[in-house]
Chain A
Amino acid sequence: MEMIWKRIPDPLRVVLVVAAVYLVLRFGIKPPLPFSLIMMYMTLLSIGVIIYITLFFDVKNTLLIPLTRFLAGEAKTALAKQGRFVLLIVFPFLIWGWAYQKLHQSAEPPLEQRVIHPAPPGESVGLYNPFRVEDKEAMQRNVHEGAKIYFQNCVFCHGDKLDGKGIFAHGFNPPPADFADPGTIAQLQEAFVFWRVSKGGVGLPAESAPWSSAMPVWENMLTEEQRWKAILFLYSYTGWSPRTWE
C-alpha cells in the first residue's frame, strides 16, 4: 500500500486526498453532515491545498504553464486535442447546471440561519430560581412538583427522557430541544431558560427571527412558580447544573 502511495505523483496525491476527505465528510459520518458544514470544511481544505502547493510545488512550471499550454497553446498530443474538445462540451453544461441550480424552485423551505440565544431583556437577567433551596427535602418536593408540570405540559414534544423525542417531535422544524445534550440547558443560566420557556418560540426578539419554533408562550398558561419548578426538574433529571458566573 505504502509502495503504491509513494509511486503516485505528488499532484495526483493532493487530488486524491481532497477527494477522500470529501467522501468521508459526505458519506462517512452518520447522521450525514449538513451541506453548509461540508462546504466550510472543503473551503478550509482548499486553503490548505493552496498553502501546500505554493510551498512544495513550482507553481509556475508544474501548474500555470502546462495549464495555459493546454488551454491556449498548440495542441500537439491527441490527449490535449481531445481534452480540449471534452472541455468545450462539458463547460457549457457546467454553466447550465449551475444556472439551473440557482433558478430551480425547490419544495424545501429556505435554509434558516438563526441567532439561537438572543439576549433577553434586562428584567429577565439575573433572576434566580426561588425553588432551588438548600433544604434537601423541600428541594425534592419542588422537583417532584416540577416533574408533574413537565409531564402534563412539556413531555409531548420534549419526550419522557427529556431528549427532545416526544411523540409530536417529528412534526416540528426546528425540532424540540434535547435537554440531555451538553449543548442546551447545561450551557445556559436558569434565568435565561426561564425567559425562553416564558416566551416560547413566538415571543422572542426580532433579531433572532425567523423563529418557526412552535413552542407555546408558556407565560400565558403556566404561573411563574410552575415554570420555575418545571425548570428545576429539567436540571434535576438530566443532572446538569445551570450555568453561573462565579
Chain B
Amino acid sequence: MRRTVSKKGVYTVLILLGMVAVFLLTFEPSIFAQELSTKDYRDVPYIGSRNAVWIIAQIHLLFGGFVLGVPIFALVCEIIGSLTKDKRYDSLAKEFTKLLTASFGTTATFGGILLFLLIICYPKLFNYLTEIFYPTYFFYSLLFIGETVSLYLYWYGWDAMAGKKGLHIFLGVLLNIFGLLIMFTSDAWLTYQASPAVLSSGLSFWSKLWASVNNPTWMPVNIHRFIGNIVLGGFMCGAYAGLRYLGAKSQEERAHYDWMGYIGNFVGIFGLLPLPFAGYWLMREVYQYNQQMGITLMGGFLSWLFILQAILIGVLFLGANYYFWQGLLTRAGGGARYKTYITLMLIVLLICLGVWMTPHSLVASLQEARQMGGTHHPLLGVFGVMSAKMTVVNLMILTTLVSFLLYWRANKEETVAWAKGGKIVQIIIFALATGFVIWAGIYGYFVPAIIRVNYLSVGQVLAVLFVLLTVIPLTGLMLKGAKVTGKMTWGIMPPSSQYALVLNAVMVILLMCMMGYARSASRTHWHIYGVMRDSTSYAYTPALGEAAIIQALCAFLFCLMVSFIFWVAALPEKKAAAVQPQEVRPKYFRKAFAFVTTILVAYTVVAYGMPQKRSLPPEEEKVDFNRDMTQKDLIQIGQKIFFGKGQCALCHTIGPATSGQRAPELLAVGGRLTREFMYESITQPTAYIKQDFDPPDPKSYPARMPVISKPPIGLSENEILAVISFLQSQGGKVTVTPADLKLTQTQVKGD
C-alpha cells in the first residue's frame, strides 16, 4: 500500500516536471531578448498580464484578510477567556494564532510575487504610483517589521507569558494595530487608483502625499475591509472547526470543535450585520466622487453583478441560520418544540430572498413581455428597486437575530422578577422596528429618491441597529442567573451542519473575490481613474461569466492553500495523538473538497446565466484641428475636452454642484469672464483666486487647480482655445473662432 502511494507521488512529480519543461520549451523569451528600454507594459505568456496580476492580487488579498481578521478574532477570544476564566477561549485563540504564523508567510510571499508582477507587467503605472507614494513604502516596511516581531512574540510567548496575561494581551493589541496600519497603507495605493485626488504643482510634497492617501474612498474602503476581515476570520474559523469536527476521532474532540464552530459562526454573523452599512457609505462616496463610476456600478454594466451578490449573501444568511437551527434541534435537544418557529423563519427568509433577487427588468420572451406590457412586471416590478431591497435585507437581519435569540435562550428559564415585562418590551421593540422597516419600504416608493436614500433607508438601518443594541443587552440581563432546564450537549451536531459552516466560508471568500472584481471593474478602462488610461489589450472589463471563472479559481486556490496550512498546523498533534487508540478517521476531506468544488462550479454556472457583456474601452478619439470646422464643431470639441481629457468637470460644475463644491461653478461663465482671463486661469491658475469662493470643506480637497497646459493633463494650445470657446458658449458671446486655431501644430491626439 505504502509503495503504491509513493509511486503515485513519483508520477505526480514527473508529470509536474514535464509540464514545467514543456512550458520552458514553448515559452518565447521575448522579455529577456529585449534591449534595455523603457517599456509601458510587458505581457505574461498564456494567461495574460491582467489575469496574472488579478489572480495573485486576489489570493494575496484573501490571505491578507485572513491574516488581519484572525488576530482580531484571537485577541477578542483571549480577552473573553481571561475575563471569564473559561480555558476554552484561550485555547481557541491559541489554536488560531498557530494558523496565523503559517498564513503570515504565505501572505508575504504572494505580496512579493504581486510586487514583482506589477514591476514587470505595468512599469509605467508602477512608476507613477511610486512617484507619489514612495515615502509610504518605507512606512509600510517598518510596519511590516513591527507586525512580524509582535506576531512572533505573541505566538511564541503564549505559554511563557501565561502568568502575565496583561502583557500578552497588550502584544495582541499591538499586533492588531500594526496589521490595521498595514492595511490602511496599502488601501491608500489602491483607492488612489479609483478616486485620485487632484494634485497641483502648488502643493508641497507632503500635502500632496496626504491628499493622495486621504482620497475620497480611502476611509470607506478601510472600514469596509476592516469589518469584512472580521467576517472572514469568523467564518474561516467556523469552516476550520467544521472540517476538524468531521474528521474528529473522539467525542471529546467533536465537542471541542463543535463549540469552536459555534463561536466562529457567531463572530462571522455579527461582523456581517454592520457590513451593509459600510458598503453603503462606500457607494455614497463613489457617487459623490464621480457619478459615472456610481452609475457603472449600480445601474449600468455591473448592475447584474449585484443580483449575483444578492444570491451569495442570501445563501450566506440561509447557511448561518441553518446552523443556528441545527443547534436548536440537536444541541439544545429542542426537536419538535421549535419546528413551527423554524419553518416560519425559513419562509420569511425565502420570501425576503425572492424579493431581493427579483431584477428590475426581467428577462422575458417577446410574448411574455407583451403580456406584461414591458420588461417591468406591473406587480412584481416593484420588487426590483432599492426600496424593496433595503427592506428585505433589514428584515433578514432581524430574522437572523430571532434565530440567535431563540438559540441563546434555549434550555434556560428566566428567574428575574421582571422577566415577563422584559419579554413584552422585547416583542414591542421587534414589532415596532419591523413595522417601521416595512412602512419605510413602502413609503419609499412615493418620495423622491433623495429622501429615500437620506432618511428612509438610514432610518431602516437605525431601527435594526436599535433592536440589536436594546434586545441583546436586555436578553443578557434577563438570562442572568437563569435556571438551566436542559443540557447543552456539544458534539452531536449532524454532518450537514458542519457543511453549512464550510459553505459560509466559501460564500464569504467568493463574495470577496466578486467585489474585488467589482471594485476594479468600476474603474473601467483606467489604471488611475481619469488620469492614466489602460492601453493594453486587456483594457476591456470581462463579462460576469469570464470573471466568475477567475474568481472561482482564486477561491479554489485559496481554499486549497488554507487547507494545506490547516493540515500542516495539525501535524504535531497527530504525532502526539498517534499513541492512543482511537476511532478510524472518517473520509471527510474528499467529501468537503467535492462540496467546495461543487459550490464554485455552481457559482460559475449562475454567473454565466447573467447577461454576458464585456465593457469595452471607448475608441480613442483623435481631434483634428486642421479639418474644416464650424464654430459649432469647435464648441463641441471644447465640451468633450472639458468633460474628458481636460478633467475640468472633476472639480468645476456647470450649475450648482450636487455634492461638495470643489471649485467655482461655471454656470453662464461666458458672460462673466473675458477670454483673456479664462486663458490666464487655465495656464496660471494661482495668479488670481476667486475671492468669494469658499469651499465648504477645504480639508477634503486641499489641492488647488493644476496648470492645465502642463502634464499630467497637458492640454495643447488649440485644445485650450476649444475649451474657452465652449465656456464662452455658456451664456456669453463666443469670440474664439476656428480661425484662431494655430494650424501649424498638426494633429493633436485627444486622449
Contact = CB atoms under 8 A, between A and B. Distances in A.
Does A pair with B? yes
Contact of A246 (B363, B450, B614): B450
Given A31-B371, A31-B373, A127-B654, A119 B611 contact: no
Given A33-B380, A117-B295, A174-B374, A109 B366 contact: yes
A215 to B, nearest CB: 14
B613 A115 contact: yes
A119 B295 contact: yes
A241 B524 CA distance: 30
Contact of B339 (A56, A111, A178): A56
Contact of A37 (B346, B362, B659): B362
Interface string A33-50: 111110011001101100
A54 interface: yes
B368 A35 contact: yes
Contact of B445 (A32, A117, A127, A182): A182
A117 B300 contact: yes
Given A113-B611, A122-B292, A44 B450 contact: no
Contact of A241 (B291, B350, B448, B616): B448
B369 interface: yes
A112 B449 CA distance: 28
Contacts of A118: 300-301
A74 interface: no
A122 B643 contact: yes
A108 B366 contact: yes
Given A37-B362, A245-B659, A175 B373 contact: yes
Contacts of A122: 292, 643-644, 649
B558 interface: no
Nearest to B639: A123
B369 A243 contact: no
Interface in B268-311: 287-288, 290-293, 295-296, 299-301, 303-304
Interface residues of B, number: 82
A185 to B, nearest CB: 11
Contacts of A37: 358, 362-363, 377, 380
Nearest to A34: B364
A207 B616 contact: yes
B496 A54 contact: yes
B649 A207 contact: no
Contact of A187 (B293, B358, B385): B385
Contacts of A98: none
Interface in B358-394: 358, 360-382, 384-385
B350 A48 contact: yes
Contact of A117 (B299, B325, B610, B613): B299
Contacts of A189: 291
A125 interface: yes
B326 interface: yes
Interface string A121-162: 111111110100000000000000000000000000000000
Interface in B163-203: none
B642 interface: yes
Contacts of B380: 29, 33, 37
B376 A31 contact: no
A47 B347 CA distance: 11
17 contacts: A32-B372, A33-B380, A36-B364, A51-B318, A52-B343, A52-B346, A54-B496, A114-B611, A115-B300, A119-B296, A121-B644, A125-B295, A177-B374, A181-B381, A187-B449, A244-B448, A245-B450
Interface of A: 29, 31-37, 40-41, 44-45, 47-48, 51-52, 54-56, 108-109, 111-128, 130, 164-165, 170, 173-175, 177-178, 181-184, 186-187, 189, 192, 205-209, 240-241, 243-246
For the complex of A and B, list the 8 residue pairs with the smallest distance between their C-beta atoms, beginning with the closest: A123-B643, A113-B611, A34-B364, A117-B299, A119-B300, A119-B296, A243-B449, A36-B363
Interface of B: 287-288, 290-293, 295-296, 299-301, 303-304, 315, 318, 322, 325-326, 329, 339, 342-343, 346-347, 350, 353-354, 357-358, 360-382, 384-385, 445, 448-450, 454, 494, 496, 524, 610-616, 618, 639-640, 642-644, 649, 653-656, 658-659
